[in-house]
Amino acid sequence: MPQSRQRATILEVAHAAGTSKTSVSRYFGGERERLSRELQGRIAAAARRLGYRPNQMARGLKGGRSRLIGMLVADIRNPYSVAVMHGVEQACRARGYSLLVGNTDNDPAQERRHLALLAAYRVEGLVINAAGSPDRELARLAEQGTPLVLVDRELGEVPADVVGLDNARAIDQALDHLQAAGYREVLYLSEPPDQASSRRARLARFRHGLAAHGLSGEARCLSIGHGPAAVGEVIDGVLASPATIPRALLCANGNLTLAVTRHLQAHGTPLGEVGLMGIDELDWCELVGPGITTLAQPTDAIGRAAVENLLQRLESPQPASPPRRTRYQAQLIPRGSTRLPFHHDRSQESP
């Protein structure tokens, strides 16, 4: 069985190019202007012939710059996380940085391990979609001069910029739309809010906004991890009661929208007659039945803004400014799932 060839070394490139190791280091280390054009050509040709690739990590650590940005996501299976990560990666690439990603699977212990690993790699900045409350670990990184940006979820006393959705405004948009569409009762479904500030903000705004919009309703918190039965039990409990006024279901994120849609489809519940709306736009939402109304987050802009905030703090010679809050507006995408049937007699609605 043939053995794989070892990676070419900088010394081999120097010998092949007929020059010194120092000259090769200068060529790959951003100082090639100090070399003659003829020598640059010889080094480039030797590197191509040998298949040499510089060790970016070693070079970065030696010079004090790793050119690495770290990112922690709470759940890499969540479409929101993937979409924001895409924006982060695009921004890193455009600015000459590489991205290291860690998935915590909503496990605070795993989150702490990933933070220690990223610190060992000497990332120059860190984007965090927190799963737990790693305030102590993040505060230590901040004290060492590592800029931090929190995405979607805020943390207590951590000195970090925050980039995400204007959650209060998003709930207002949802209630405005459902009210205008003719619905008068709204069931809000959320995952447990304990470890996510965005969930708490949305839940509080919903409870505050019902009366302001002249709506009745309630909020239920349930865990997707408990399976479809948990979601179905809540929905069936609500729909089992006779409907005297048009009612709708408002889902706090894409995972819940998917779980609720599956249950309604399995039980033949017509969308529109029972309204359905979700926060987060997913690719399949326009393909199901009459289409599902959503509030789309500008995930690409959120990811890019997180990186720009990091790099501004890295590159600014000024003393650190107070943490910044960057909030984006959601985009309403109305579809048939929030369109009441024409035969509905609105004269029976409560004022």
Predicted confidence band of residue 335 (pLDDT cuts 50, 70, 90): very high
Q: pLDDT, tens digit, for every residue of 173-194?
A: 999 999 999 999 999 999 888 8
User: What is the per-residue pLDDT for 169?
Assistant: 97
Domain boundaries defined on the chain: 10-54, 64-165+299-328, 167-297+332-342
Backbone angles phi, psi at 334, to 5 degrees: -75, 135
Q: Which of 1-10, 96-105, 199-208, 292-301 has the lowest mean pLDDT?
A: 1-10
User: What is the per-residue pLDDT for 317?
Assistant: 57
User: What is the per-residue pLDDT for 127?
Assistant: 94
pLDDT over 80 at 65, yes or no: no
Q: Do domains 64-165+299-328 and 167-297+332-342 have the same CATH topology?
A: yes
In the chain, beta strands by DSSP E: 68-73, 98-103, 125-128, 148-151, 161-165, 185-190, 216-221, 247-251, 275-279, 293-296, 325-328, 331-333
Rounded percentage of the chain residues whose pLDDT exceeds 70: 90
Are 213 and 225 a contacting pair, CB within 8 Å? no
Q: pLDDT, tens digit, for every residue of 89-142?
A: 999 999 889 999 999 888 888 888 888 888 877 888 999 998 777 778 888 888
User: What is the per-residue pLDDT for 350?
Assistant: 44
The pair of structure tokens assigned to 245 is 């006024």
Residues making up the chain, counted from first to last: 351
In whole numbers, what is the pLDDT of the chain averaged over residues?
Answer: 86
CATH (residue range 167-297+332-342)? 3.40.50.2300
pLDDT over 50 at 267, yes or no: yes
Note the pTM of the prediction, 2 decimals.
0.78
User: What is the per-residue pLDDT for 58?
Assistant: 57
Question: What is 64-165+299-328's CATH topology?
Answer: Rossmann fold (3.40.50)
